[in-house]
A and B are shown apart, each in its own frame.
Chain A
Amino acid sequence: MEEVCARFVSQKISKARWRPLPAAALQPPDLFATGSWDNEDNRISIWSVGDVGSAGLNGEYQGEPQLLCDIRHNGDVMDMQTLSASHRWENAHYHADQYTACGGAACTGVICNNPEIVTVGEDGRINLYRADQKDAVRTIDNADSSTLHAVTFLRTTEILTVNSIGQLKIWDFRQQRNEPAQIFSLTGDRVPLHCVDRHPNQQHIVATGGQDGMLSIWDIRQGTMPVSLLNAHEAEMWEVHFHPSNPDHLFTCSEDGSLWHWDTSTDVSEKPSFLHQGGRSTAYFSHSTINQSVVSAWLSNDPTKDRMEITNLIPNQTLSVNTLDVLGPCLVYGTDAEAIYVNRQLFA
């Protein structure tokens, strides 16, 4: 991993997100935002990772993230998305009484699909906002009896949420009733699910990560149970992301301090070289399939036909990796050891 730059930033990082680039952009992303947690004075900071070729400002090591600006934030930063908006929606999540000081509840997830913003929280509430309106467009009170941990858009009018009793729910905003359109859950123990992500191209494939570090792949067209359960980490999986442009690659990060790269691309000749370094983990199944076009590799659960490479990208793991984001060839992740790491050559 030659191109990983680390920087210690004196704050525990809870979320890091790349600034989105237009789809046709040729440049790799160069700006990302991070949010901190567990400080008396939390901050959201924007960092720039310059081009590898250009000289640093003070002759510093190029490639180290440089702080552009930051802003104070009340409370821990739980989730971040990029949008241009100029509103503040206060007291979006609360338990009993909206405006008392101790009645507030943590907002655990936010997702945007310009111009709509959806938030979910520990109070089991789902709020839908529009960027230009002051009040919530729609609020589903008591959508869930437990904490909603994460949310993502399924289609423009549907969202997916995961909660702390191990359920994946689809909500359709076109319907007026305050019930989920569909509920999926794991069999066995109701392990809380912490993160969810949808396949960028094939919208019926959804990945979730649970408290026991298990990665579950679901096909929401059929059944109420996951298609495959993969034993991954040894502790809570905090984030799971499909790579937006190479969806055969999946990234997960966890409380046990590891960040795994799951690769189901089966083209043998183009094996990315970075996979041959670092801590290589197990899971070679067998030789490749040639015809893998229609049925995504994620859904086929025949272990003899599939081959998945799983690599741990962190050689010496200590504290939890709380967040990761991947865009193009760049990966950024933040840890509880108060450090940010940027890898700008993922597929070199």
Chain B
Amino acid sequence: MEEPDTEPPLTVVPGADPARTQLCFEWGPAEMLLCETLFGRRGGERRGAPGGSAGPAPTGCGVAGGGDGAPGPSRVFVVRRDQDIYMETLRKLFNESHGIFVGLQRCEEERAARARNAQLVQVSKNYRSVIRACMEDMHQAAISARDSALHSQYSIQVSILSAMELIWNLCEILFVEAAPAGPLLLRLLDWVQLHICDVDNMVREVLGQRKSIKNTSSFWNVVDIFVLQGRMDEARHLLSKEAIANPTSMNMYKILDDLMKKMPVPSLGNTQTLTEMELKWQHWHEECQRYLQDGTFASNSHMESICKILLGDENAILEKKELMTTWYHFLVTRLLYSHPTVKSMELRFYAQSSMDMFLGEESNPEPLDTILMAAFEFELHQVIKECSVALSNWWFVAHLTDLLDHCKLLQSHNLYFGSNMREFLLLEYASGLFSHHSLWQLGVDYFDHCPEYGRVYLELHIERIPLNTEQKALKVLRICEQRQMHEQVRSICKIMAMKALRNNRLGSALSWSIRAKDAAFATLISDRFLKDYCERGYFSDLDLIDNLGPSMLLSDRLTFLGKYREFHRLYGEKRFSEAARLLLMLMTAHIAPCSFWMTLLTDALPLLEQKEVIFSAEQTYELMRCLEDLTARKLDKQKFQDDDVETMKVEMLRLALARNLARVIVKEGTLEGS
């Protein structure tokens, strides 16, 4: 493993005072838990810390910790590393880009390379417009923030987003679109124009001035910047105004205007080949050279410098450093005026030299500069690595890498643990999302599109989402069911069912166990119902038991419950013979649990005591057999301190059964009709 090359940053946790109490910590998936132990500094209390480690060896001596008697309650701090996902404005970025990401994964591959390319460029543009929209919002938020700390936080975010868009745009030009020589330069010009926005302010300032106070330097600055950015038409427009004001130098203006007009630019369409363009450009270059050497512009230094710029004189261009502000602007201008037909592979040579020339002595490139340089050098992995280091969360690299992977630009570069870079970054990003209380739903789709480890990660993460309401649990369950994660379904349903059971919501508990097809839990619930019935003498929640329907078959106990309730219903409706048959069936078919037989037999008593005979002889024999089975089992298990109630019950049952038997034998022996 490499050595870290910078000192790790110091994070101060507000409220935690290591001078007062020793702290212990534990790593979490995306955050850290910090806890105050009961250990003070050396000399303080020494009670066992709850769950905390013993702490490092006590340093030094002296400061007694326990000044205020009993220690206060220990506090737990949650240290989150990634602040960004909690910013409201950034949430829009995450959501919108999630939509684009899912759309990209799902859209079918176009066959033709051209169409595929266009599709990917469109996706890249969508991502960029999302970043810009977010930047706008963040800018608005920064303006309207009253708190200066908040204002600076937002402003920092705006600059980060702007840098991200800059890098993404360059990657789009070089990698996604892979513009050929010719259009490449035009794209690069657009890129530069988009990102150096002071120009518009300057222009507005200049155009706003009337003829009265003409600030010559700012005027020429604007013309220069137009020329540097290759915006010939606008430069010519301004120059024409100046020409009208100074008729004496009309000639010079005319010539310069003419040169600018004739400057050959690469065309986007196929109207000219590269060689044609180069030829034209060569002629034009020579013409400019001639005018310069003739001294045509000698009287006006501004125009002379413009002519030099047109000739691609690097020193002349470098003089306008403050206008260009960045070395990549310098690079593009240089290319425009010396090698307009540059190919993308050749960019790296010009890039390095441009940066050196521009930055000069203080060649301390910022992270942004190294990233852009890596892009110009077509070192994709370097770009991604630098971005990962520089940015605080994985959003940018994950999406960019995924897009580049779709362009088939990343070789499957296996990392140490088997997955490729795209998957690694997506997994990291999605794990970060799961640590957020609300954005976890987005993370699910990201895991879905990680073929190797996505499912495992999802299984582990989804079980740890806190389920406060039933609706959230339903959503999580649906996610698990759609992906056939049966273990997780069962565990979540069990959690919810237990909660419901604890709150005495037996119907809810049953519906959860039906969803999980959890027979064991259904048995548990039925036992609860039966216990309630035994204690109270009546059924609670009749609406549930009466309407069990086919879910009754989920577990035997549940079936028994349903049938038992049916027995009660039949009894209530005075359909005694059916009730009797059902009761008997419950015992003989062993649907009833043994513990319940006594209750069932006791329920049979009123039927036995009815005026008319209900149980047939066969049935009575069966009942007697059941009773004997029951008492035999009881004798085995229980000691001889049976309470009287039990023995009395058994006695009564035996009596009733005998009486019934007597009556039924007589009845059955009697001839009908007499």
- In the complex the two chains form, what is the Cα distance from A307 to B507 in whole Å? 39
Residues 157-203 of A contacting B (Cβ, < 8 Å):
163-165, 167, 169, 180, 183, 185, 187-190, 192
Most central of A122, A190, A320 by chain B CB within 10 Å: A190
Contact B469 A188 (CB under 8 A): no
* Complex interface: chain A residues within 8 A of B549 (CB): 185, 187-190
* Complex interface: chain B residues within 8 A of A192 (CB): 511
- In the complex the two chains form, what is the Cα distance from A64 to B628 in whole Å? 80
Give the residue of B96, B437, B505, B540 whose beta carbon is less than 8 angstroms from that of A147. B505
- In the complex the two chains form, what is the Cα distance from A50 to B77 in whole Å? 45
Interface flags for A198-240 (1: CB within 8 Å of B; 0: not) read 0000000000000100000000000000000000000110000
Contact A106 B503 (CB under 8 A): no
Asked whether A84 is an interface residue with its Cβ less than 8 Å from the other chain, the reply is: no
- Beyond A190-B549, A318-B102, whether A145 also contacts B507 by CB under 8 A is yes
Minimum C-beta distance from B670 to chain A (A): 44
Residues 506-536 of B contacting A (Cβ, < 8 Å):
506-508, 510-511, 514
- In the complex the two chains form, what is the Cα distance from A147 to B497 in whole Å? 12
Asked whether B302 is an interface residue with its Cβ less than 8 Å from the other chain, the reply is: no
Contact B510 A211 (CB under 8 A): no
* Complex interface: chain A residues within 8 A of B511 (CB): 146-147, 164-165, 190, 192
* Complex interface: chain B residues within 8 A of A39 (CB): 437-438
- Beyond A165-B547, A255-B475, whether A316 also contacts B99 by CB under 8 A is yes
Contact B547 A185 (CB under 8 A): yes
Contact A105 B503 (CB under 8 A): yes
Asked whether B541 is an interface residue with its Cβ less than 8 Å from the other chain, the reply is: yes
Contact A338 B478 (CB under 8 A): no
Asked whether B322 is an interface residue with its Cβ less than 8 Å from the other chain, the reply is: no
Residues 323-344 of B contacting A (Cβ, < 8 Å):
none
Residues 535-584 of B contacting A (Cβ, < 8 Å):
540-541, 543-544, 547-551
Asked whether A123 is an interface residue with its Cβ less than 8 Å from the other chain, the reply is: yes
Q: Which residue of A lies closest to B482 (CB)?
A: A235
Contact B474 A122 (CB under 8 A): no
Interface flags for A21-43 (1: CB within 8 Å of B; 0: not) read 00000000000000001111000
* Complex interface: chain A residues within 8 A of B353 (CB): none
Q: Which residue of A lies closest to B541 (CB)?
A: A145
Minimum C-beta distance from A107 to chain B (A): 10
- In the complex the two chains form, what is the Cα distance from A194 to B547 in whole Å? 18
Contact B470 A122 (CB under 8 A): yes
Q: Which residue of A lies closest to B444 (CB)?
A: A319
- In the complex the two chains form, what is the Cα distance from A38 to B471 in whole Å? 10
Contact A167 B471 (CB under 8 A): no
Q: Which residue of A lies closest to B440 (CB)?
A: A38
Contact B474 A211 (CB under 8 A): yes
Minimum C-beta distance from B502 to chain A (A): 8
Contact B469 A146 (CB under 8 A): no
Pick from B87-95, B211-219, B414-422 the stretch touching chain A: B87-95
- In the complex the two chains form, what is the Cα distance from A319 to B433 in whole Å? 15
Contact A40 B95 (CB under 8 A): no
Minimum C-beta distance from B97 to chain A (A): 11
Asked whether A96 is an interface residue with its Cβ less than 8 Å from the other chain, the reply is: yes
Q: Which residue of A lies closest to B502 (CB)?
A: A95
* Complex interface: chain B residues within 8 A of A123 (CB): 503, 505
Contact A38 B92 (CB under 8 A): no
Asked whether A336 is an interface residue with its Cβ less than 8 Å from the other chain, the reply is: yes
Most central of B471, B472, B475, B550 by chain A CB within 10 Å: B471
Contact B475 A190 (CB under 8 A): no
Asked whether B441 is an interface residue with its Cβ less than 8 Å from the other chain, the reply is: yes
- Beyond A8-B92, A236-B474, A338-B91, whether A190 also contacts B547 by CB under 8 A is yes
Q: How big is the A interface, by class?
A: 35 or more
Q: How big is the B interface, by class?
A: 35 or more
* Complex interface: chain A residues within 8 A of B470 (CB): 106, 108, 122, 147, 164
- In the complex the two chains form, what is the Cα distance from A241 to B482 in whole Å? 26
Contact B469 A122 (CB under 8 A): yes
Asked whether A78 is an interface residue with its Cβ less than 8 Å from the other chain, the reply is: yes
Asked whether A76 is an interface residue with its Cβ less than 8 Å from the other chain, the reply is: yes
Q: Which residue of B lies closest to A9 (CB)?
A: B92
Minimum C-beta distance from A144 to chain B (A): 7
Asked whether A156 is an interface residue with its Cβ less than 8 Å from the other chain, the reply is: no
- In the complex the two chains form, what is the Cα distance from A284 to B429 in whole Å? 44
- Beyond A10-B88, A95-B503, A146-B508, whether A76 also contacts B99 by CB under 8 A is no
- In the complex the two chains form, what is the Cα distance from A95 to B442 in whole Å? 32
Q: Which residue of B lies closest to A188 (CB)?
A: B550
- Beyond A144-B507, A236-B474, whether A106 also contacts B469 by CB under 8 A is yes
- In the complex the two chains form, what is the Cα distance from A1 to B170 in whole Å? 35
- In the complex the two chains form, what is the Cα distance from A76 to B469 in whole Å? 9
Asked whether A4 is an interface residue with its Cβ less than 8 Å from the other chain, the reply is: no
- In the complex the two chains form, what is the Cα distance from A180 to B551 in whole Å? 22
- Beyond A123-B503, A146-B507, A146-B510, whether A180 also contacts B543 by CB under 8 A is yes
* Complex interface: chain B residues within 8 A of A142 (CB): 540-541
- Beyond A96-B503, A146-B511, whether A8 also contacts B96 by CB under 8 A is yes
Asked whether A117 is an interface residue with its Cβ less than 8 Å from the other chain, the reply is: no
Asked whether B43 is an interface residue with its Cβ less than 8 Å from the other chain, the reply is: no
Contact B544 A76 (CB under 8 A): no
Give the residue of B89, B99, B503, B514 whose beta carbon is less than 8 angstroms from that of A337. B99
Asked whether A339 is an interface residue with its Cβ less than 8 Å from the other chain, the reply is: yes
- In the complex the two chains form, what is the Cα distance from A187 to B95 in whole Å? 40
* Complex interface: chain A residues within 8 A of B468 (CB): 75-76, 106
Asked whether A12 is an interface residue with its Cβ less than 8 Å from the other chain, the reply is: yes
Asked whether A63 is an interface residue with its Cβ less than 8 Å from the other chain, the reply is: no
- Beyond A40-B437, A106-B470, A122-B470, whether A320 also contacts B505 by CB under 8 A is no
Interface flags for B139-176 (1: CB within 8 Å of A; 0: not) read 00000000000000000000000000000000000000
Interface residues of A (CB under 8 A from B): 8-12, 14, 37-40, 75-76, 78, 95-96, 105-106, 108, 122-124, 142, 144-147, 163-165, 167, 169, 180, 183, 185, 187-190, 192, 211, 235-236, 255, 316, 318-320, 336-339
Identify the 10 closest CB pairs spanning chains A and B, nearest first: A146-B507, A145-B507, A145-B541, A95-B503, A10-B91, A8-B92, A38-B438, A146-B508, A10-B88, A164-B511
15 contacts between A and B (CB under 8 A): A8-B92, A9-B92, A10-B95, A11-B438, A37-B472, A38-B438, A106-B471, A122-B508, A144-B543, A145-B507, A165-B547, A185-B549, A188-B550, A190-B549, A319-B441
Give 19 new A-B contacts, CB below 8 A, not counting A11-B438, A38-B437, A146-B510: A8-B92, A8-B96, A9-B92, A76-B472, A78-B471, A122-B470, A123-B505, A144-B543, A145-B505, A145-B506, A146-B507, A146-B508, A163-B507, A164-B470, A167-B547, A189-B514, A235-B478, A318-B98, A338-B95
Interface residues of B (CB under 8 A from A): 88-89, 91-92, 95-96, 98-99, 102-103, 437-438, 441-442, 445, 468-472, 474-475, 478, 482, 503-508, 510-511, 514, 540-541, 543-544, 547-551
